[in-house]
Structure 1
Amino acid sequence: MIMSTIMMLFIMWILIMAIAMLNFLISKSSTTKMNKISPFECGFNNLSKTQPPFSLNFYLMTILFLMFDIEITMIMPFFILYKTSNMLLIMLTFYFFIYIMIVALMYEWKQSILNWKM
């Protein structure tokens, strides 16, 4: 019984090694080029000394999107809690949160962050 189990494991090991060797032989050999092995982040080439100018509007719109995306994920549980309970503290927290979001939106509007000027 033990001998047959050991033999089965040995055969499986041979089969796995054969498949790995076949994969190594059949696979397309890739020539390593500098562009393929160099790090590439955010559209900037790290190997060059000069960086292209970065538009601050893209960054600010991303922050704005994330802020309102998080706002939506925070608002959804409030509606569920509102149906199940009638707690004043939950609604005051909800209104305070919405107030902060509206003030932030008005500030960004005043700073003309919402205008796409390129």
Structure 2
Amino acid sequence: MNLITTIVAIAVALSMVLALVSFWLPQITPDPEKLSPYECGFDPLGSARLPFSLRFFLVAILFLLFDLEIALLLPLPWGDQLSSPLVTFLWAASVLTLLTIGLIYEWVQGGLEWAE
């Protein structure tokens, strides 16, 4: 018990010392030159912030959803070793049906159209 108390006391003391030191250190405010964007030694030609197309985000989310659902089918080859392979077949068929319904829904809603 004495060892645990010592470790906790050292941790608390070290945390307090680090917190106090961070308040005593001066706050450095960078000048506008350091806040400006830097492009290979030249002044930037335009805005560094480019608009991000929401289509990329939607395609990435769709990929993640379908990829994770397809990962549910990976244990299928070992399903034939079960006592009832029919249960494995029904489970796989239901997952594939849900994937197909999701794909059809996204297609109908226009989520797979790149340009309108």
TM-score by length of 2: 0.50
Tell me the CA shift for residue 71 of structure 1.
2.4
1:14-33 equivalent positions in 2, closer than 5 A: 33=34
2 CA distance for matches of 1:35 and 1:113?
A: 38
Q: CA deviation at 1:72?
A: 2.6
**Distance in 1 (alpha carbons) for counterparts of 2:36 and 2:66:** 37
* From 67, 89, 92, the counterpart of 1:91: 89
Residue 100 of structure 2: aligned partner: 102
Out of 55, 58, 62, the residue aligned to residue 56 of structure 2 is 58
Return 5+ residue gaps in structure 2 as ranges. Answer: 1-29, 38-48
* Partner Cα separation in structure 2 for residue 115 and residue 80 of structure 1: 37
- Counterparts of 1:114 and 1:72 in 2: how far apart (Å)? 18
Percent of aligned pairs with the same amino acid? 35
CA distance in 2, matches of 1:108, 1:65: 12
TM-score (norm 1): 0.49
TM-superposition CA deviations, 1:49-85 (whole Å, max 9, x none): xx86553322221111002211231111012223x23
Moved runs in structure 1, 4+ residues, more than 6 A?
A: none
Residue 75 of structure 1: aligned partner: 73
| Structure 1 counterpart of 2:115 | 117
For 1:111 and 1:56, the matched residues in 2 are separated by: 15
Count of residues in correspondence between the two structures: 72
Q: Which runs of 5+ in 1 are unaligned?
A: 1-31, 37-50
Q: CA RMSD in A?
A: 2.7
Question: What does 1:10-49 correspond to in 2, within 5 Å?
Answer: 33-34=34-35
